[in-house]
Chain A
Amino acid sequence: MEATIEVTGLRKRFGQTQALDGMTFTVLPGRVTGFVGPNGAGKSTTMRVVLGLDAPDEGRALVGGHPYPSLRNPLSHVGALLDAAALQPSRTGRNHLLWLAHSQGLGARRVDEVIEQVGLTPAARRRAGGYSLGMRQRLGIAVALLGDPPVLMLDEPFNGLDPEGIVWIRGFLRSLAAEGRAVLVSSHLMSELQDTAGHLVVVGRGRVVADTSVADLITTASRDRVTLRTTARAEAMSVLAGADATVTVTERDTLVVSGLAAEHIVRLLGAQGVPFSEVAAHRATLEEAYLDLTRDAVEFRGAAR
């Protein structure tokens, strides 16, 4: 069983909505792959198709080279967290794991192991209906880990976690990937994946917009941009705009200039006598890069913008 997820040319339509429109990507072992895109981009639908819950109109999805429905003991091949709220409220967290363990031919010992692993031991014998969102996420992660699978798929695992929980899950996901597992984590907020994902599959409108490492993405987004610090913002802007550059104000005395090389900017400002304190190559944030990419892909944009 290879630790991979292969998605090829998935298409799926729900009524008028083309939810998936040729979704194609591969998730490789040993790293956390972030699956990002705005709400409605098709992340959850893709995950459901990979897991055999939804049937695609076209295309195919394989886990370790096999379609999910053909897997025996599927939880030992793929662990998934789709909806942490999908619980029978009157059943305890431990019993929820227990019936899942029984379905895979596993016993109570394994259940107690994963409870320990996600730090749910104190609440394990309480009714799941009384769990906080964070506890439900931990239980959902315990479910995903139950079969000790080489592939993990987590849909929005950060939802509802407190800052401490977010720190915990980031470290946890990195350690799982370090063991050689393929870890796919979806999120609609790029910031959540900062410092966690090594690779990104960015999607919009049912297809992949970018499939790249985090480092490459930032480099691309930073390319040809210069940060300029000046007290004479208005003068600087008019000079640079006159030279066909694109100028964005980021802070009160900081401009980001694209379309002009740094030495050209220095020469122009010097010639016009515009004061400035700093000119530097711009270092884009992941968020910026992501916004660049998905600008065209956001489905519902506020009319004022």
Chain B
Amino acid sequence: MTAVTPYRSGLRTGRDGFAQLLRAEWTKIRTVRGWTAGLALVALLIVGLGVLFAAGSHSSCSKGPIEVPCPAPLTGPGGVPVQDRFYFAHQPLAGDGSVTVRVSSMTGQIRKPDVTPGVRNVVPGVTPWAKAGVMIKQSVRQGTAYAALMVTGSHGVHMQYNFTEDLAGRPGGVSAASPRWLRLTRTGDTITGEESADGSHWTTVGTVRPPGLAGKVEIGLFAASPGDLTVTPNVMGGAAVASRFAEVTAVMDQVGVRGVAAGGTWGRDDIGVTMEADGVTPHHPGGLVQSGGTFKVTGVGDIAPSAEGMPVERVLTGVLTGLVAMTAVAVLFVTAEYRRGLIRTTLLASPRRGRVLAAKAVVIAAAAFAAGLVGAAVTVPVGQSILAANGNVLAPVAPLTSLRVIVGTAALLAVAAVFALAVGALFRRSAMAVIAVVVTIIVPYVLAVASILPEEVSRWLLRVTPAAGFAVQQSMPTYAQVTARYAPAEGYFPLPPWAGFAVLCAYAALALALAAHRLRRSDV
């Protein structure tokens, strides 16, 4: 045999790293027009459907027969929407001081559904978060800073301040046989809440410095009772929610106030009371009956954060449809290679198979994130301003929360796209993979929020399925000390935003691991 000089290439060899693989996959995705159009469609669907929703939402309020713009929701010191309605017997306090009372009874009445139509059905009772006790408040204006120490209907002693903050004291209710002593002391800007069973042995419930509570303040006794919330499941799924009138009356004695002017009289304010149609008669008034040293304070309403206004994520209604388009692109990004046999070419160029899948996942995640970010970052401000222009009341939202909703939406699309890609690589069939993703992410979400299923089933779905990831869009916080229906149908997820997102991430990671396993093990 003749000797041959083997071929030596004059071509300079390039680098063989993950960056090259990423670039190759990026070139792949951007050179198929259907896929780039699909990515653009994701952003367009989010913006378009969001704007459509905003443009179609109008609201106005009526004042008697006249239609007026709805008032902005009342906000507390932190800018959060609040409700601030209670009965307050108070004296001015300029410097340090304290108020001490003994609560020996809490009774009340609750209106129940009418048994005989037209006849008010009122029964004795106290709602779980009915509250009465002592308070220091900046002024009698609604929404100002405060700190309060209270006995509650069925949650024992609590110390609360500035609407959102809550500290729990000892549990248990009050009666004449076992009264509860409460004391609120102001030293500089610091407020200390203490409780006692006998008036001589005191336990500190909390020491706080509520922002905005300084200078001349009002100190005194208060009572408030949130409405009685009933949730009745409907036969056909969903639930009927009703909040009915409830009031509480607390009996307090052994009242001692320090730091106020000697011989001062009690100011009485039914803070936040609404008037009847005549404009002068209070609707469900509170009151104070004083006999000797005994104060009977009756209150209606609540001092708490409220969920008034449209939350910011409502304008992101197009994300669900955008996710379907994103799923199709992500699935096709891998199944098209199997369908055409192109996967062999890909693996010839990059025989390390796990890296190929990783590069595909990074590229599809980046593309989905970009599409989602553009969509959400445009939709939120535009949608919000259209909603506001149409007279809708928007829930105030902190800039960081708003940012988390926008970035979270982009991240939701990115991780869902990785999940879809992995399912596509696992099944190697477009239709099957798209159906599988829709069934595991979109169907559980729609079922859970659409008031179709029993609430517990809805919560369960949003905990254990990839649909839990939608929690990242929830802007409204939940509070343990508030009587409210925090149901998926109302936009409340069972898991905190990032925990829900983590569930979706776990599914994506699992699917990716299975896909990598299959890709590594099998002939192509």
Q: Which residues of A contact B (CB under 8 A)?
A: 2-3, 28-31, 48, 51-55, 68-76, 80, 82-83, 85-92, 95-96, 98-100, 102-106, 110, 143, 147-150, 179-182
Contact = CB atoms under 8 A, between A and B. Distances in A.
A180 B5 contact: yes
Contacts of B336: 88
B523 A3 contact: no
A83 B339 CA distance: 13
B14 A92 contact: no
Contacts of A182: 6
Question: Which of B6, B27, B523 has the most A CB atoms < 10 Å from its CB?
Answer: B6
A87 B13 contact: no
A43 to B, nearest CB: 16
Interface in B1-17: 1-2, 4-11, 13-17
Contact of B14 (A73, A89, A99): A73
Given A100-B24, A106-B14, A150-B8, 4 more contacts: A86-B344, A99-B27, A104-B13, A148-B9
A30 B14 contact: no
Contact of B11 (A28, A72, A147): A147
B7 A29 contact: yes
Contacts of B10: 148
A285 to B, nearest CB: 25
Given A3-B7, A149-B9, A104 B14 contact: yes
Contact of B16 (A82, A99, A105, A181): A105
Contact of A102 (B2, B7, B23, B32): B23
A53 B523 contact: yes
B345 A98 contact: no
Contacts of B345: 82, 86, 100, 143
Contacts of A110: 11
Contacts of A3: 6-7
Interface stretch (B184-192, B256-264, B349-357): B349-357
Interface in B178-227: none
A102 B20 contact: yes
Contacts, number: 132
A48 B5 CA distance: 27
B524 A53 contact: yes
B351 A87 contact: no
| Chain A residues touching B, majority SS | loop
6 contacts: A69-B352, A82-B345, A88-B337, A103-B21, A150-B6, A180-B8
B24 A181 contact: no
B26 to A, nearest CB: 8
B341 A181 contact: no
The 3 closest A-B pairs by CB, nearest first: A105-B14, A30-B4, A103-B24
A22 to B, nearest CB: 19
A86 B352 CA distance: 20
Contacts of A29: 4, 6-7
A85 B27 CA distance: 20
Contacts of A51: 348
Interface in B271-317: none
B523 A83 contact: no
Interface in B326-349: 336-337, 340-342, 344-345, 347-349
A82 B20 CA distance: 23
Contact of A179 (B7, B21, B34): B7
Given A73-B13, A82-B344, A90-B33, A103 B7 contact: no
B31 interface: yes
B524 A104 contact: no
Contacts of B344: 48, 53, 82-83, 86
Contacts of A98: 27, 31
A75 B349 contact: yes
Contacts of A181: 6-7
B4 A150 contact: no
Contacts of A28: 1, 4
Question: Which of B7, B13, B25, B28 has the most A CB atoms < 10 Å from its CB?
Answer: B7
Contacts of B6: 2-3, 29-30, 150, 180-182
Contact of B34 (A76, A90, A105, A148): A90
Nearest to B351: A69
Nearest to A176: B7
A30 to B, nearest CB: 3
A51 B25 CA distance: 21
Question: Which of B34, B341, B351 has the most A CB atoms < 10 Å from its CB?
Answer: B351
A96 B341 CA distance: 14
A128 B17 CA distance: 28
B160 to A, nearest CB: 61
B20 A105 contact: yes
B24 to A, nearest CB: 4
A180 B32 contact: no
Contact of A87 (B7, B25, B342): B342
Contacts of B23: 102-103
Nearest to B352: A69
Contacts of B17: 105
A105 B13 contact: yes
B523 A88 contact: no
Contacts of A96: 31
A229 B445 CA distance: 87
B132 to A, nearest CB: 72
A74 B20 contact: no
Contacts of A53: 344, 347-348, 523-524
B31 A75 contact: no
Question: Which of B14, B32, B523 has the most A CB atoms < 10 Å from its CB?
Answer: B14
Contacts of B20: 102-105
Contacts of A30: 2, 4-6
A171 B26 CA distance: 36
A35 B27 CA distance: 35
Contact of B24 (A85, A89, A102, A149): A102
Contact of A68 (B24, B342, B351): B351
Nearest to B350: A103
Contacts of A102: 20, 23-24, 26-27
Contacts of A99: 24-25, 27-28, 31
Nearest to A107: B14
Contact of A180 (B4, B16, B341): B4
A54 B9 contact: no
Interface string B73-93: 000000000000000000000
Interface string B450-484: 00000000000000000000000000000000000
A72 B352 CA distance: 10
B7 to A, nearest CB: 4
A80 B348 contact: yes
Nearest to A150: B7
A74 B351 contact: yes
Nearest to B359: A103
A154 B20 CA distance: 26
B351 A95 contact: no
Question: Which of B11, B15, B352 has the most A CB atoms < 10 Å from its CB?
Answer: B11
A52 B351 contact: yes
B11 A87 contact: no
Interface in B23-61: 23-28, 31-34
B347 A52 contact: yes
B27 A104 contact: no
